[in-house]
Amino acid sequence: MCPAGLDLLAGTVWARIGGSTAFRRQIRPQTGSHGWPDLDGVYLEPWASKFFVALTVPGPTAVAVTVARTPPSVVTSMGQYPPFSVITGFPDPPTSVIRQAHNPPTCVSLMVKWGSVRDDEIRRVLTEANPWWRAAAAGQDPVGAVRSHRLIRDRARHDLGYRPSVLHDLATAPVGDSLVVLTGPRRVGKSVALLDLAAALCGRRDIQPFQVIHVPCDGMAARDLRRTFTLGRELTRPADLHAPRARIWLLDEVSAIAEWTPIVKAARDGTAVGDDTVVVTGSRWREDEDIAGNLLAGRAGTAGRRRVRHLLPMTFRDFATATRPELLLPEAVHPADLQSPDVAATLDGLRFEVDGYDLAWQDYLSCGGFPRAVAEHSRNGAVSIDYIRDLAAWLRGDVNLEGPPESLPLLLEQLAGRATSPLNMAHVAEALGWTRAVTAGRLNRLVSGFGALWCRHHDDSGRPVAGSQPKLYLVDPVLAWLPSRLRAGLRPPQMTALTEQTLGVALARRIDHLDEGRWVAGDTIGYTRTGSGNEVDLVPVKVPSGGTTRESVPIEGKWVDDGWRNEAKVIENKFRRGILATKSLLDLDHPSWAIPAPLVALMLE
């Protein structure tokens, strides 16, 4: 039965999950509106003659839905019931309950309730997520138990041998009190990287498999995570048989839990977890979680390791290593040394190889660096439409798009087409039929979910210009191809625009590598304007170098093979030096150098 006080005849949608109230919202659709803001997990979108409600449930749990509309008609059910449909699937991925009705009601209310998971359920989840415990207890190979995990088996179908090195130091270092936050977009392989780390740790003679605790956090509530720290240590007591041993906690997708940072903070401050290694992964960097204040300030351990790390799509160097092993790959250099004599000598030695780099670069710009996309393109000549749709599903969820299916392709087409110019938010909002506030919110969610990167407008002193329009770069080329793959008639991206974006992301990654935290702070790359109104894509930025601070070499991405000197004069007049990233032209005889874009990328990575 519905709770007292709710007027069913006015039109009510009530979802009860578990036993404790989380929130209730009442929405009055406006005629002609195109969307609603994010309402704590409840997304509403009136579109044409249909009314959509999408609710993300933090299960595993049971769901009951009561729906009433005007004129009076009440349905309470699980499963399919016209004119509504319920789609469920616990516990992974988090449940999506989607209801669709014709003739939108004048008023819709939602009450959402859920409760915590019981101890026996948490124990079951932990036991299933750590098969190496059972293997060790039975005298079997714990590494083999890790390799039997479904994610590892799935990788084998698209495996070109690429293994990110982002956690390699933890695989070989002594077990201590380090805390590492690993972030990056969905579908990039963070969960697989954690399992690779688990396999490496279980294979060490100085570590017992019971010390390694893998926690899949999707579907957990905050209280479940708190309880998991207690039960995880209890389940791994065999590790302390002869003497207490530190644990290695691998918390996967913990950012899916609201207010997770205070829980980890309390565990680090008040329990034995403070002496353990803790690795947490997440697909979104939310400022309201205060990761720096709750976790990094005095709680990141004493080993001096890098605390915030990003697992992003494969770089061009990774791509070339996996798909073009015959290519000679120059060593990376500091961004301030891109025009050094040593670099000139290296480039002179590669003059006769530029065509090979150019062809590899075109392949990279066609498929991007998500490992499965690279494998499919390498083996089949194209990224499969199934994986394109997987990426689109991630983006729709992260960006909070509640509209019709074409909303995402239209958004990405706008961003890809405007990437080489400062982004006019009002024009994008008008083109998509959204308000400016909704547009800004969705773009910021795209950035916080590592789908895009802001390139700020810098003044002559290198400081961001307040109130100016930034550029927005998609973090991977394949995202720019989604519109034309998902909907007929939408424009494919241009190679020049893809080159500028990809070099910008490569420089941003290198700057963050040299100066931890700058990516999430939005303080990596910038563009500037000249007195004549021209733009320089990537201006000099201050970067640490051997205890001092130096400025990176300015870069302009044009992907041309002739007429480059006219473009080069813009960067020379502004900075007296610089690099013009070309298609395959190499010319080092002027104050600004023409270097093929793939070689610029390789030297940055």
405 pLDDT more than 90: no
Name residue, tokens 């005007």.
70
- The amino acid at residue 433 is G
Mean residue pLDDT of the chain comes to 80
- The amino acid at residue 364 is Y
Residue closest to 524 by CA, chosen among 514, 535, 536: 514
43 pLDDT more than 50: no
Give the side-chain half-sphere CA count within 13 A for 344: 10
Q: Which residues pair with 550 in a beta bridge?
A: 543
Q: Which residues pair with 52 in a beta bridge?
A: 45, 100
* pLDDT, position 462: 84
**Per-state percent for the chain, helix, strand, coil, to nearest 5:** 40, 20, 40
H or E segment to which residue 308 belongs: strand 308-310
Residues 9 and 139: their CA atoms lie apart, in Å, by 64
Q: Which residue has the higher pLDDT, 402 or 210?
A: 210
Give backbone dihedrals phi and psi of 518, rounded to 5 degrees, phi first. Answer: -75, -30
* pLDDT, position 489: 93
Q: What is the DSSP string of 190-219?
A: HHHHHHHHHHHHHT-TTS-GGGEEEEE-TT
Residue 563 corresponds to which tokens in the numbers above? 């007429």
What mean pLDDT do residues 526-530 have?
92
Contact (CB, 8 A) for 237 and 275: no
Residue closest to 102 by CA, chosen among 35, 54, 51, 36: 51
What mean pLDDT do residues 29-39 have?
30
Contact (CB, 8 A) for 211 and 239: yes
Residues 257 and 94: their CA atoms lie apart, in Å, by 11
Residues 519 and 517: their CA atoms lie apart, in Å, by 6
Contact (CB, 8 A) for 246 and 177: yes
Contact (CB, 8 A) for 218 and 93: yes
Confidence class for position 306, pLDDT limits 50, 70, 90 = confident
Q: Which residue has the higher pLDDT, 81 or 339?
A: 339
497 pLDDT more than 50: yes
Predicted confidence (pLDDT) per residue in 545-594, tens digit: 988 999 999 999 988 888 889 888 999 999 999 999 999 999 999 999 99
What mean pLDDT do residues 92-102 have?
33
Question: CA-CA distances (angstroms) from residue 475 to 184, 365, 452, 480, 508?
Answer: 10, 12, 5, 9, 10
Confidence class for position 358, pLDDT limits 50, 70, 90 = very high
What b/e sequence results for 368-388 when a residue is b if at least 16 CB atoms lie within 10 Å of its CB, and e otherwise? bbbbbbbbbbbeeeebeeebb
Alpha helices in 217-338 (DSSP H): 222-235, 260-270, 291, 316-323
What mean pLDDT do residues 266-286 have?
90
Contact (CB, 8 A) for 173 and 303: yes
Residue 165 corresponds to which tokens in the numbers above? 């090195």
Radius of gyration of the chain (CA): 26
* pLDDT, position 34: 31
Q: How many helices (H) and strands (E) does the chain have?
A: 21, 24
* pLDDT, position 208: 95
Confidence class for position 58, pLDDT limits 50, 70, 90 = very low
- The amino acid at residue 327 is L
H or E segment to which residue 137 belongs: helix 131-137
* pLDDT, position 104: 34
298 pLDDT more than 90: no
Residues 84 and 95: their CA atoms lie apart, in Å, by 16
Residues 183 and 283: their CA atoms lie apart, in Å, by 6
Name residue, tokens 């359920």.
121
- Beta-carbon contacts of 488 under 8 Å, excluding residues fewer than 6 positions away, are none
Confidence class for position 338, pLDDT limits 50, 70, 90 = very high
Structure-derived torsion over alpha carbons of residues 141, 145, 147, 151, reported in degrees to the nearest 10: -170
What mean pLDDT do residues 122-147 have?
94
115 pLDDT more than 60: no
Predicted confidence (pLDDT) per residue in 506-517, tens digit: 999 999 999 999
126-130, 330-334, 557-561, 599-603: range with lowest mean pLDDT: 557-561
Q: Specify the 3-state DSSP secondary structure of 108.
A: strand
Predicted confidence (pLDDT) per residue in 182-235, tens digit: 999 999 999 999 999 999 999 999 999 999 999 999 878 888 999 999 999 999
- Supply the pTM of this predicted model: 0.80
Contact (CB, 8 A) for 104 and 46: yes
* pLDDT, position 397: 80
